[in-house]
Structure 1
Amino acid sequence: MSFKLYGPSTNPRLSQIHLVADLLQIPIELVEVAYSQCDSKEHLARNPFAKVPVIETTDGFLYESNAICRYLARSKQESGLYGATPFQQSQVDQWIDWTVNELDPNFMTTFTQIWGHLPVNEDSFKTSRNIINEKLKQLEGHFKNSPYLVGDKLTIADITLIVRIAPFFTLLIDEKTRKSYPSLMKWFTAVTELPQFKKNFGRVRLCKVAFPLPKQEEQKQKEQKPKEEKPKEQKPKEEKPKEQKPKEEKPKEQKQKEQKPKEAEKPKEAQKQKDQEDDEPAPEKKKNPLDLLPPSPFNIDDYKRAFFAEKDITKNIQQLFTSVDTQGWSLWIITYNKSQNEGKQIILTNNLMKGFINQRLDQNFRKYSFAIHGVYGDEPNLEIRGAWIWRGIEVPQEWKDHVAYDYHVFRRIDINNEQDKKDFTEYWVNQEEDVSKVDGLTARSLIYFR
């Protein structure tokens, strides 16, 4: 018995169904249906709601991923993947419903903001994140007494939960917080280490720190500006009633009241001066380590201007090799070590690449570096790579602080090595999108980090 599964191969719900099918050893034939094809007459005949995934059975079409997983598990009842008894089967249903009702809404609230699909709303984000942590605490309590959600064996309830919870640990819940859920993480590791899970979802990469919201710092600065301006505008408004009050008061009382605010203002002004004096050394503490390096004759700003002014890029790269100060600057090729489900679609991969570079990398690093970074290859095997030059001869702190630092491979270029120079030159010279090739891969989307 085999089934046809309709939908885009990159959809995680399809991967969930494939995982269940692999556990049951049921063959599944994937029929690729893009999101843009969901409104076609052909697909509407399968699902009138124009959604994916859809599975074709001998009895007809079935949609909704959890319903499909239940159907597959019921078709092989002896596997125990739907529970061994009617009571356990009801427990499986219970946990699937719990996962959908308790986790899915908060997943959508947080991740649509992390991915930039919806405007950032810090209040709703924090509320949902707190709810998620409360639910994780509840799961921790359950897994202290049970290795799985239902009984002592894996069921489709565990599969439904793992698909929802894995993104939390890769982007939202940091390493420190995860340590407070040892029983939950033990279950998580047991499920994600299954060969069938790795086949469909790849290796799960747990984040050390949570991904920040896009442009969160800029929004905070905008919100702080009016707060600083308001008291300045309100000062003259507060002074007016003070000038009018003496008309109704006696001269002696008036003098006393005029003296008190003056005396009260003196310590406030003194405190402001002290605060300013205390704040003066702060910029010195925040100095970038790259500023403390010995002076270098190579000027990156001059090079950037020459790069964009030079029509012959081949000539420009040769000038770089001869003029760069190798004691104060270094050249690198960076490759993103993608997971199994990444790099399948150009739009998603391009957004991933730009998100890493433009949103997650410290923008102050631009004055110390220059790069050509992009997406290379063809769907469904796209790569994210780039050629960089930066201050210093080691990987700088800006990259080490990057949330995805551990998922990048850094290769330092030796300009005395001809092969290294050739590899670096390929990135620097071949810049025509959809035409140029680097290491045999077509350049699809390129950006300058400058």
Structure 2
Amino acid sequence: MTLTLFSFNGDKNAYKALVAAKYNGVDIELAKNFELGVSNKKPEFLKMSPTGKVPVLKTSEGAIFESNAIARYVARITDKGLYGATALDLGVIEQWIDFCTNEIDAPLLSWVLPLQGVWPYNKAKEDAAKEALKKSLSVLNEHLKKNTFLVANRITLADIVCVCNLFEGMKSVFDDSFRKPYPCVERYFVTCVNQPEFKQVIGSFELCKTPIKFTPKKKEKKEQPKKKEKGGKKQEAAAPKPKPAKPAKNPLDELPPSKMVMDAWKRLYSCAPANDFKNVACGRFWNGGAVPKSTSGEQFSGFDPEGYSIWFADYKYNEENTVNFMVMNKVGGFLQRMEPHRKHCFGVMCILQKEKLFPIVGVWVFRGQEIPPNVLAECGDVELYNWTKVDHKDEKARARIEDMFCQLDVVDGLDHIDCKVFK
């Protein structure tokens, strides 16, 4: 079997498959002369990965994109224990893969990529990403106090994915002071990256000492006119440099002001007490009220139907959703691609169970009266859903919204097996 991996040098997402291959005794060759930004835009590549994203694995039977899916495929080629020994091991491995993808990788990208100039920098988003990461690392640290690895007593695919998702943080922004509250996470990471199978892929690794920081671009100085030459002749002035194009404005920022503050709603939702969640979160979403645990007495004004709209999202191809973990990965990927639009969006995505199928439904709150045009243009996953604008006065619609917001055990009359909140 010939396996070819398309990616760029240093791609931590490609490391997942490459490390799994070392553990499983699988040969993977790297695509030759692959150039990011060029090779991944060619028609033959887009046939394998319609979004143009890497990594992509080419097999004799077809291509696979999305790094977790590729790693899962490699882990299943032979049974060397990467998926544990029991059905429970398998379930817990998938649990940690989802956790590390959605709760660690997503906020870490929001922190690091703007510092690297890949995404626009926003201090508030950076702070929010750090806080989200601290919560996730605390969960991971607590688990690792009593466990050497995530599942059982040996490295599994969960550890490979987790370590690769931690990679950029440990390399670029998790300095000594940031890592200090999470000694078990540091011990775990260092243990894993020093295993022969990891070292064959990533080489020697040094933990971050000085974190990268945002450096604003310096404004270019205007050229001074040249002095006259002797004899009265003027030197030809250099052609003025074109002014850098202004960053495109987000059309949602141009909308009339709304009394509803999205960040206040997100804080209210996050801080609502579990024992009275529906009354506090759902009641105050419609009618407004105090944000729990706010030291400043922050108030949320309630849903503003003039400034915001609510939409139901129903996946178009539920007949294909036959494997639970693949459906979870599908939803997680969608939310990752929504990351640049977090400022103006809030969503709850629910995975249900109907016999052997796993339907996906969701509810989203968007700024404005339509699905934002930049979301439609930049997130191809949107086209995979049927979107229905909600009449916020309709009692049945409100009840369905509240069922999803509250993550009830039953949604739309079906068992609700997993939920992901985009906030």
The two structures have a TM-score, normalised by structure 2, of 0.48
Q: Which has the larger radius of gyration?
A: 1
The two structures have a TM-score, normalised by structure 1, of 0.45
Decide which structure has greater helix share.
1
